[in-house]
Chains A and B, each alone.
Chain A
Amino acid sequence: MSAADAARAESAPVLELRGIGKEFGAIRALSDVDMSIAPGEVVGLMGDNGAGKSTLVKIMAGNFHPTHGTITLDGREHRFDRPLDARAAGIEVVYQDLALADNVSAAANVFLGRELTRRVGPFRFLDHRAMNARALELFGELKSETRPRDLVRSMSGGQRQAVAIARTRLAKAKLILMDEPTAAISVRQVAEVLDLIRRLRDSGVAVILISHRMPDVFSVCDRVVVLRRGTKCADKRVDRSSPEEVTALITGAKEFA
């Protein structure tokens, strides 16, 4: 990639949502949401329960179609029919429950559905060595204390996050969506996860972080987007806002910003 290309990639948004609306029967979950995110940017997505955060993430992740609006990724319009389509386009999701299987190793979880194999005669066998080595590399990049061969069952919340995030790194994702990754873990583990997010950002990945925790959003995000009753009521840089303002926006004490 030339320097000029790199510079353009810096400025061009990796993802652009235009006029996104979603109705479930008579319930209007989202209306006319515009949003964009650049490579290496971390955007906090906030809002009260029922504001439409999960719905917006599910639309980006290919769980369902928006009723209105378009999704543009790297300048190309996409229509995701299944989560796998979004994944193929470079959007990875870290689900709230992490979607890990406890009974297999960390490496097995990282490579789930994309296992490496080698041919032996007419058969294909798992390439354990290659998968463990690659997983070790990914955990190293994330500076996580996680052993590829250990069972996920015996891991801490922070390590589990690392496994779920390492999985998204396997495919060279452009955009990672994280649904409340710090909701149910200890203080130390929260710090670990925020560090993981910074490392993703440093490697040029765009991250959308759903969180209820104001300190997390203000320590790791570049921008905060606030949804209220399905509409976007704020989209501003965190260094030009404050936790008090965002709280007021979420509750409706302040209409727009």
Chain B
Amino acid sequence: MTDAAPGIVFTNVGRNRWYRSGALASQTAYVAIALVVITALVAVFANHFLTPNNLLNTSKNFSYIAIVALGSTLVIITGGIDLSVGSVMALTAVVTAILMKALSGTVLASVPFGVMGAAVVLGLGLAALVGFVNGVMIAVVRLSPFVVTLGTLSICRGITYVITQGRGQAPNGPGVDTFYALTDGRILGLPVPLVYLLALAVVMGVALRQTRWGRHVFVLGGNERAAKLTGVAVARVKVSVYMLCSMAAGLAGILVLGWLGSAPANLAVGYELKIIAASVIGGADLAGGIGGPAGAVIGAALIEVIRNGLALFGADTYWEQVFVGSIIILAVLVDRIRTRQPD
């Protein structure tokens, strides 16, 4: 297929240089390279990094963050932000565990997987409801995403403490083994959270690039007014991304519940920063309009490799937070230099 209409010569527009086009032009590509280099360095200098046990733990740890980062990336592409994800993880985990106990005495107990299935579905439904509230406040009432989700961050965390009285909640009831298998087991030797992450990343990639909805998600971040004037259902698309983001957080919360065997009320405190950092390091632009699932996965992996490396070197793992902040600034700086236009 030719690139120009017949009879048209391009006199005033050149092609982009190779390093400024395609996958190479994205921050995601640069961070992927950084991830490979840093992983190699850690593997060489920290003897324990490549042990099966450590790799398993690392890949699990990062999967939880990365699953939520997928949702957070969606929100960031539309030009929004979701600070409530950590609290939603905790609320969903705690409510799911409580529901398992509560539903054990009901007729559902006689249905195979009834109790576990219902608890998980209701837990995710609650997460979706939080996302719906976020989305409506932002898209319809037109409050700022930062303020709305800061509010739900506090509300969800508060409710989590109130309903648990600060006590951890453990999964229990008929079929709890299945629950553990599906949240903390292995598929083809891989930890299930990693498998869920990869599957969700693929689905998200296809949805973003190959559907009208995905196209509208990008355009919302690029020029919301243009979307509105051309008849895009702006509010509906916005509400959908906040719901998906909350549900991703809910799913991660449920997976952590299976991993820990108990959900403390302070589960995932402060995770929102790590999650947003993963999205941004992976190339999602906080100004909106740019981002993707590969970036979320790579960003989350990079943070976890660094944290793990620090631990293996015997350094204080709180340095991770310093690294996260520095890397965000560095990533933005690299991007700035790379895309600098001649004035």
A residues engaging B (CB < 8 A)?
83-84, 87, 93, 95, 97, 99-104, 108-109, 112-115, 117, 123-126, 132-133, 136-137, 139-140, 143-145, 147-150, 154-156, 159, 167, 188
What 0/1 readout, one digit per residue, does chain B (190-229) give for beta carbons within 8 Å of chain A? Answer: 0000000000000000000111100100110111011101
B223 touches A101 (CB 8 A): yes
Q: How close is B1's CB to chain A, nearest CB, in angstroms?
A: 8
Residue of B nearest to A98 (CB): B226
Residue pairs across A and B with Cβ atoms less than 8 A apart, 10 shown, are A99-B230, A101-B226, A101-B227, A101-B289, A104-B215, A108-B219, A113-B231, A132-B1, A147-B4, A147-B10
Given contacts A108-B215, A126-B209, A136-B4, 17 further A-B contacts (CB under 8 A): A93-B229, A99-B230, A100-B226, A101-B218, A103-B221, A103-B222, A114-B230, A132-B1, A139-B8, A144-B5, A144-B8, A145-B4, A145-B8, A145-B12, A147-B13, A150-B13, A188-B12
B8 touches A140 (CB 8 A): yes
Q: How close is A103's CB to chain B, nearest CB, in angstroms?
A: 4
B residues engaging A (CB < 8 A)?
1, 3-13, 16, 209-212, 215, 218-219, 221-223, 225-227, 229-232, 289-290
Q: How close is A117's CB to chain B, nearest CB, in angstroms?
A: 6
| Residues of chain A lying within 8 A (CB to CB) of residue B13 | 145, 147, 150, 154-156, 159
A125 touches B210 (CB 8 A): yes
Bound together, the chains give a CA A102 to CA B221 distance in angstroms of 10
Bound together, the chains give a CA A132 to CA B289 distance in angstroms of 21
| Residues of chain B lying within 8 A (CB to CB) of residue A108 | 215, 219
Q: Pick the contact of B5 from A93, A99, A140 — CB < 8 Å? A: A140
Bound together, the chains give a CA A140 to CA B8 distance in angstroms of 7
A104 touches B5 (CB 8 A): no
A145 touches B6 (CB 8 A): no
| Residues of chain A lying within 8 A (CB to CB) of residue B3 | 147-149
A154 touches B222 (CB 8 A): no
Q: Pick the contact of B225 from A99, A103, A132 — CB < 8 Å? A: A99
Q: How close is B24's CB to chain A, nearest CB, in angstroms?
A: 15
Residue of A nearest to B225 (CB): A99
B232 touches A103 (CB 8 A): no
Q: How close is A86's CB to chain B, nearest CB, in angstroms?
A: 11
Which one of B210, B227, B289 has the greatest number of beta carbons of chain A within 10 Å?
B210
Q: Pick the contact of B12 from A101, A114, A139, A156 — CB < 8 Å? A: A156
Bound together, the chains give a CA A159 to CA B215 distance in angstroms of 21
B226 touches A99 (CB 8 A): yes
B210 touches A126 (CB 8 A): yes
Bound together, the chains give a CA A124 to CA B210 distance in angstroms of 9
Q: Pick the contact of A113 from B5, B11, B227 — CB < 8 Å? A: B227
B212 touches A117 (CB 8 A): yes
Q: A99-B225, A137-B5, A145-B12 are in contact. Are A115 and B218 (CB under 8 A)?
A: no
B222 touches A104 (CB 8 A): yes
B230 touches A125 (CB 8 A): no
| Residues of chain B lying within 8 A (CB to CB) of residue A114 | 230-231
Q: A139-B5, A140-B5, A145-B8 are in contact. Are A100 and B212 (CB under 8 A)?
A: no
Q: How close is A189's CB to chain B, nearest CB, in angstroms?
A: 9
Residue of B nearest to A108 (CB): B215
| Residues of chain A lying within 8 A (CB to CB) of residue B209 | 126
Q: Pick the contact of B219 from A87, A97, A101, A167 — CB < 8 Å? A: A101
Q: 6 tightest CB-CB pairs across the interface, nearest first?
A: A140-B5, A101-B222, A113-B230, A103-B289, A99-B226, A103-B222
Q: A100-B226, A101-B227, A102-B289 are in contact. Are A126 and B232 (CB under 8 A)?
A: no
| Residues of chain B lying within 8 A (CB to CB) of residue A102 | 222-223, 289
